[in-house]
């Protein structure tokens, strides 16, 4: 009985490993980075998902005019700065 259980368990484990290995397809929006180093030594970094049109018509097609196109199908964008900033009149503290 123990031998049959071990065989079944090993089989199920191998199927799980195979399924996980097959799930490694390219993300819909590949990761990208942008970095800006100011002359005074301050740095701003952005990590985001880079959208792809893939031959589709976005505005007036996939997305009606006047609506926002969600430009990233993966993780949230991160914005990191090593100094306090003011953007469009709003204070943005250093950090992530």
DSSP H helices in 1-96: 2-22
Q: Is residue 45 in a domain?
A: yes
pLDDT at res. 58: 82
User: In this structure, are residues 85 and 91 in contact, taking their beta carbons and an 8 Å threshold?
Assistant: yes
Range of the domain at 67: 26-92
Residue 19 counted as domain residue: no
> Is 83 inside any structural domain?
yes
pLDDT of the residue at 51: 77
pLDDT at 13 (0 to 100) = 62
Q: Which two tokens stand for residue 75?
A: 């993780």
Flag whether 18 is in a domain. no
Contact of 49 with 32, CB cutoff 8 Å = yes
| Residues 38, 86, 76: CA angle, nearest 5 degrees | 85
- Give the pLDDT confidence score for residue 75 in this predicted structure: 77
Q: What pLDDT is recorded for position 93?
A: 94
Residue segments in the chain with a per-residue pLDDT below the cut of 70? 1-24, 70-73
Within a domain: residue 38? Answer: yes
Residue 90 three-state SS: strand
Inside any domain, residue 34: yes
Tally of domains within the chain: 1
**Does residue 2 belong to any structural domain of this protein?**
no
Residue 1 lies in a domain: no
């Amino acid at each position: 009985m123990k031998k049959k259980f071990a065989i079944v368990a090993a089989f199920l484990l191998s199927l799980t490993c195979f399924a996980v290995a097959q799930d490694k397809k390219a993300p819909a929006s590949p990761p990208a980075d942008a970095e800006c180093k100011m002359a005074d030594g301050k740095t701003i970094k952005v990590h985001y998902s880079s959208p792809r049109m893939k031959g589709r018509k976005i505005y007036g097609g996939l997305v009606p005019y006047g609506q926002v196109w969600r430009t990233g199908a993966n993780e949230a964008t991160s914005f990191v700065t090593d100094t306090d900033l003011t953007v469009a009149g709003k204070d943005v503290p250093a950090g992530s």
